[in-house]
């Protein structure tokens, strides 16, 4: 590497290379060359090998209506068939598909045959409710077997699901129901997290009462916590009652490859989250292929992705990818710190996990916990079953990488630092565990077939060693198809005119190493924050703040945080007097809770500062650069004479909390 500091390179051991799906860099380069020489052929061959098609496709990539690309458009397929029936048919019926560990530590195992039966029962139940191909179903469930069953049941009948993370508020849920015009909501009475029962159904009830959810005809309720919940006659039905007496077989609905498998809302640079629309065939192909190449999944593996099904990682690497590969996976209901911060390590030990995929924030918080209490250190557990580690969702700092590598992986497990997004559907830039020499902090090289590049504002590729904008030059099968109901926004956000509509704009900055060409992601280039691997728009939080009756104006920025990667800092102008002392503290609490209610607890600003105004240029533009510096506690050194109100900076320097 060309960095001034000596960077340590971690090569895969012979043992790892030997049996890997991509064994060595020559094998990786051969795959890349195959894709470069015959792009469509590369993907078509894998789509035929990796998936079972009801009607084989003859068309591969259709670019006639760019950037609304189509893949395998004349093929017909069913995702649930590929994840379940196909495994049963090839003799894996008695293989464990899911090892579910509850918050309370209770473990339940479900085989492929059982899972198929459960999915079919719910599919039949949903069909009886009138749900049909193309209808939308919103899923607001905790991490549970039922959550996966619900997603698979929708896929089975051709309904498009939209999972809403269980930590989102009534307002956020309402907005998503309204945007999808869902006819059914599947929820639970509540969820267990960290030993506590938290409500879900009451939040769903509130969402439905907010107006704009008239499309919803039925609410299916899973019993999890046993908490007393209200029931609206004619609308609400217990999950157990719905599936009672239903057959455990159900004919899959064979859908066009482009049929929307799911919508998943994510934050952008406006106040309104975007409904990212994914296809069926292309999406599933890359979910499978990345399980094979990036995770080197083998029949004997026990795979554990710690994400929630409310995020894209939980879609590709819990609900679809592992199942489509016939793998055994761990599904975990709880949190990494309950009953103590050794939970992950104990679970890896007891469940003999071989591939472990988590987020840098979790690693950083567990490093802290182990520093404070040596009995929670991974070395106190037997983690010898592990063979591959993964990281996702945010940049992993080299110190956390090295700790993960040495202490969790015992110095023998490659770490795949996977860069991708809700929109990309699957890994885009990532090491291949049996091939790529690893450099901590770099997601290394593109997934075979992915044409990632770093460009300047004009869309021209910059030389290695020079930072720029991350783009993808060719469409890929698992990419976003559109923003639900807003094709113009899709075009503007991802295929902007600045690049003549030819390049996919990821929204991240990146730099490639001078010598190796390795990519390092330098962070978002838009108004999107990444807090604990959760993506949030600054505008979304600002809109929530100004919706409070006492708030006149608000600006939100991120600041680096040791554990969560970034932390949310809000600068607020109240309608009345600027509060100080205890009044300010009380107001901070009130606004944090308000944002928690408007969006969800993950969006609560960590730091709120009050000013009589915000720093603005004479034309009234908020100087966000200055706010970022203030949030970090940096001295403002540059010329502020163009500010309309330089005195305001003093007020905003100090946190009142």
Question: Binding site residues for CoA, as ranges?
Answer: 193-196, 313, 532
422 counts as binding ligand PRX under rule CB under 6 A: yes
One of 111, 313, 349, 444 touching ligand PRX (CB under 6 A): 313
417 counts as binding ligand PRX under rule CB under 6 A: yes
Tell the smallest beta-carbon distance from residue 38 to ligand PRX (Å): 28
Q: Is 557 helix (H, G, I), strand (E, B) or coil?
A: strand
One of 312, 370, 480, 569 touching ligand PRX (CB under 6 A): 312
Sign of CA dihedral 616, 622, 624, 625: negative
319 counts as binding ligand PRX under rule CB under 6 A: no
395 counts as binding ligand PRX under rule CB under 6 A: yes
The whole-angstrom separation of Cα 52 and Cα 284 is: 11
Closer to ligand PRX at the Cβ: 529 or 652?
A: 529
Closer to ligand PRX at the Cβ: 365 or 532?
A: 532
419 counts as binding ligand PRX under rule CB under 6 A: yes
Nearest residue to 77 via CA among 117, 97, 98, 50: 50
524 counts as binding ligand PRX under rule CB under 6 A: yes
Q: Exposed, middle or buried: residue 384 (CB in 10 Å: 0-12, 13-18, 19+)?
A: exposed
Using CA atoms, how far residue 345 sits from 111, 204, 277, in Å, is 24, 34, 36
User: Three-state SS string across 46-114, please?
Assistant: HHHHHCCCCECCCCCEECCCCCCCEECCCCEECHHHHHHHHHHHHHHCCCEEEEEECCCCCEEEEEHHH
57 counts as binding ligand PRX under rule CB under 6 A: no
Closer to ligand PRX at the Cβ: 531 or 544?
A: 531
What residues form the annotated binding site for Mg(2+)?
546, 548, 551
Closer to ligand PRX at the Cβ: 112 or 518?
A: 518
- Kindly state the number of chain residues that form the binding site for ligand PRX, as judged by CB under 6 A: 21
User: Three-state SS string across 573-596, please?
Assistant: EECCCCCCHHHHHHHHHHHHHHHH
Cβ atoms of 470 and 504 closer than 8 Å: no
538 counts as binding ligand PRX under rule CB under 6 A: no
Using CA atoms, how far residue 29 sits from 26, 34, 36, 593, 596, in Å, is 5, 8, 10, 51, 47
- What per-residue string of b and e applies to 603-619 under the rule 16 or more CB within 10 Å gives b? bbbbbbbbbebbbbeee
Per DSSP, helices labelled H in 319-462 are 321-324, 343-351, 360-372, 398-403
443 counts as binding ligand PRX under rule CB under 6 A: yes
418 counts as binding ligand PRX under rule CB under 6 A: yes
Tokens representing residue 525 in the block: 């280039």
Nearest residue to 203 via CA among 213, 195, 268, 194: 213
469 counts as binding ligand PRX under rule CB under 6 A: no
258 counts as binding ligand PRX under rule CB under 6 A: no
46 counts as binding ligand PRX under rule CB under 6 A: no
- Count the neighbouring beta carbons within 10 Å of the beta carbon of residue 52: 15
Tell the smallest beta-carbon distance from residue 360 to ligand PRX (Å): 8
Residue whose token pair is 């999944």 = 297
Closer to ligand PRX at the Cβ: 324 or 392?
A: 392
Tell the smallest beta-carbon distance from residue 305 to ligand PRX (Å): 11
Q: Which residues contact 196 (CB under 8 A, 6 or more apart)?
A: none
535 counts as binding ligand PRX under rule CB under 6 A: yes
Closer to ligand PRX at the Cβ: 392 or 541?
A: 392
Cβ atoms of 415 and 389 closer than 8 Å: yes
Residue 232 has φ and ψ, to the nearest 5°, of -95, 115
Cβ atoms of 504 and 471 closer than 8 Å: yes
Pick the stretch among 129-137, 202-210, 381-389, 392-400 that binds ligand PRX (CB under 6 A).
392-400
Tell the smallest beta-carbon distance from residue 654 to ligand PRX (Å): 30
| Residue 427 CA, distance from chain mean position | 11
Residue closest to ligand PRX when measured from CB atoms: 422
60 counts as binding ligand PRX under rule CB under 6 A: no
One of 309, 415, 521, 573 touching ligand PRX (CB under 6 A): 521
112 counts as binding ligand PRX under rule CB under 6 A: no
The whole-angstrom separation of Cα 615 and Cα 641 is: 11
362 counts as binding ligand PRX under rule CB under 6 A: no
What residues form the annotated binding site?
193-196, 313, 393-395, 417-422, 508, 524, 532, 535, 546, 548, 551
One of 392, 408, 536, 569 touching ligand PRX (CB under 6 A): 392
Q: Exposed, middle or buried: residue 95 (CB in 10 Å: 0-12, 13-18, 19+)?
A: middle
298 counts as binding ligand PRX under rule CB under 6 A: no
Closer to ligand PRX at the Cβ: 86 or 535?
A: 535
Tell the smallest beta-carbon distance from residue 441 to ligand PRX (Å): 9
One of 290, 349, 407, 530 touching ligand PRX (CB under 6 A): 530
Residue whose token pair is 């609400």 = 236
Nearest residue to 239 via CA among 156, 140, 308: 140
Closer to ligand PRX at the Cβ: 85 or 417?
A: 417
Sign of CA dihedral 112, 113, 116, 122: negative
383 counts as binding ligand PRX under rule CB under 6 A: no
What is the gyration radius of the CA atoms in the chain, in angstroms? 24
308 counts as binding ligand PRX under rule CB under 6 A: no
407 counts as binding ligand PRX under rule CB under 6 A: no
What residues form the annotated binding site for ATP?
393-395, 417-422, 508, 524, 535
420 counts as binding ligand PRX under rule CB under 6 A: yes
Q: Per-residue string for binding with ligand PRX, 484-513, x by CB under 6 A?
A: ----------------------xxx-----
564 counts as binding ligand PRX under rule CB under 6 A: no
Closer to ligand PRX at the Cβ: 79 or 505?
A: 505
The whole-angstrom separation of Cα 198 and Cα 593 is: 16
Pick the stretch among 95-103, 416-424, 510-518, 571-579 that binds ligand PRX (CB under 6 A).
416-424
Closer to ligand PRX at the Cβ: 358 or 421?
A: 421
One of 180, 257, 290, 421 touching ligand PRX (CB under 6 A): 421
| Residue 361 CA, distance from chain mean position | 14
Instruction: List residues binding ligand PRX (CB under 6 A).
Output: 266, 312-313, 392-395, 417-422, 443, 506-508, 521, 524, 530, 535
């Amino acid at each position: 590497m060309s960095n001034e500091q000596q960077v340590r390179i971690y090569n895969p051991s012979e043992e790892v290379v030997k049996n890997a799906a991509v064994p060595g860099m020559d094998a990786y380069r051969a795959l890349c060359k195959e894709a470069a020489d015959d792009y469509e052929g590369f993907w078509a061959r894998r789509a035929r090998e990796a998936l079972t098609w009801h009607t084989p496709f003859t068309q591969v990539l259709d670019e006639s209506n760019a950037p609304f690309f189509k893949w395998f458009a004349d093929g017909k397929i069913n995702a649930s068939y590929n994840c379940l029936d196909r495994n049963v048919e090839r003799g894996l019926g008695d293989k464990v598909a899911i090892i579910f560990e509850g918050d309370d530590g209770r473990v339940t195992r479900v085989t492929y045959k059982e899972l198929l039966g459960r999915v079919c029962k719910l599919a039949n139940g949903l069909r009886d409710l009138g749900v049909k191909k193309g209808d939308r179903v919103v899923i607001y469930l905790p991490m549970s077997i039922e959550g996966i069953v619900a997603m698979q049941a929708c896929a089975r009948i051709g309904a498009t699901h939209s999972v809403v993370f269980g930590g989102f508020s009534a307002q956020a849920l309402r907005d998503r129901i309204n945007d999808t015009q869902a006819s059914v909501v599947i929820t639970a009475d509540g969820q267990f997290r960290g030993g506590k029962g938290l409500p879900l159904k009451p939040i769903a009830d509130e969402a439905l009462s907010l107006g704009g959810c008239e499309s919803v005809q039925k609410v299916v309720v899973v019993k999890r916590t046993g908490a007393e919940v209200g029931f609206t006659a004619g609308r609400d039905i217990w999950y157990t009652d719905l599936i009672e007496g239903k057959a455990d077989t159900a004919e899959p609905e064979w859908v066009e490859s482009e049929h929307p498998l799911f919508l998943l809302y994510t934050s952008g640079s406006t106040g309104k989250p975007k409904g990212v629309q994914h296809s069926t065939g292309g999406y599933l192909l890359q979910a499978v292929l990345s399980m094979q190449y990036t995770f080197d999944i083998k029949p004997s593996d026990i795979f554990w992705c710690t994400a929630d099904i409310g995020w894209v990682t939980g879609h590709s690497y819990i609900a679809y990818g592992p199942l489509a590969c016939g793998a055994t996976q761990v599904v975990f209901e709880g949190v990494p710190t309950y009953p103590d911060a050794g939970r992950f390590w104990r679970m890896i030990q007891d469940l003999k996990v071989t591939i472990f995929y988590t987020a840098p924030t979790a690693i950083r918080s567990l490093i802290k916990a182990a520093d404070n209490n040596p009995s929670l250190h991974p070395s106190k557990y037997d983690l010898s079953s592990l063979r591959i580690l993964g990281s996702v969702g945010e940049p992993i700092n080299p110190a956390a990488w090295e700790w993960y590598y040495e202490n969790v992986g015992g110095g023998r497990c490659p770490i795949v630092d996977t860069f991708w997004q809700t929109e990309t559907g699957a890994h885009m830039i990532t090491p291949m565990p049996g091939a790529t020499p690893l450099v901590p902090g770099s997601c290394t090289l593109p997934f075979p077939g992915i044409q990632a590049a770093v460009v300047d504002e004009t869309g021209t590729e910059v030389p290695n060693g020079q930072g720029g904008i991350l783009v993808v030059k060719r469409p890929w099968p698992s990419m976003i198809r559109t923003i639900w109901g807003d094709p113009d926004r899709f075009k503007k956000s991802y295929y902007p005119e600045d690049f003549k509509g030819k390049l996919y704009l990821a929204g991240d900055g990146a730099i490639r190493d001078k010598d190796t060409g390795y990519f390092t992601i330098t962070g978002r280039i838009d108004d999107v924050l990444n807090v604990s691997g959760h993506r949030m728009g600054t505008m979304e939080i600002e809109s929530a703040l100004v919706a409070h009756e006492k708030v006149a104006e608000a600006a939100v920025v991120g600041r680096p945080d040791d554990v969560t990667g970034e932390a949310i800092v809000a600068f607020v102008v109240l309608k009345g007097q600027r509060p100080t002392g205890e009044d300010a503290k009380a107001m901070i609490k009130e606004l944090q809770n308000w944002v928690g209610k408007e969006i969800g607890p993950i969006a609560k600003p960590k730091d709120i500062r009050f000013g009589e105004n915000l720093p603005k240029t004479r034309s009234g533009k908020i100087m966000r650069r200055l706010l970022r510096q203030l949030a970090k506690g940096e001295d403002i050194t540059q010329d502020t004479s163009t500010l309309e109100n330089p005195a305001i900076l003093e007020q905003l320097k100090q946190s009142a909390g």
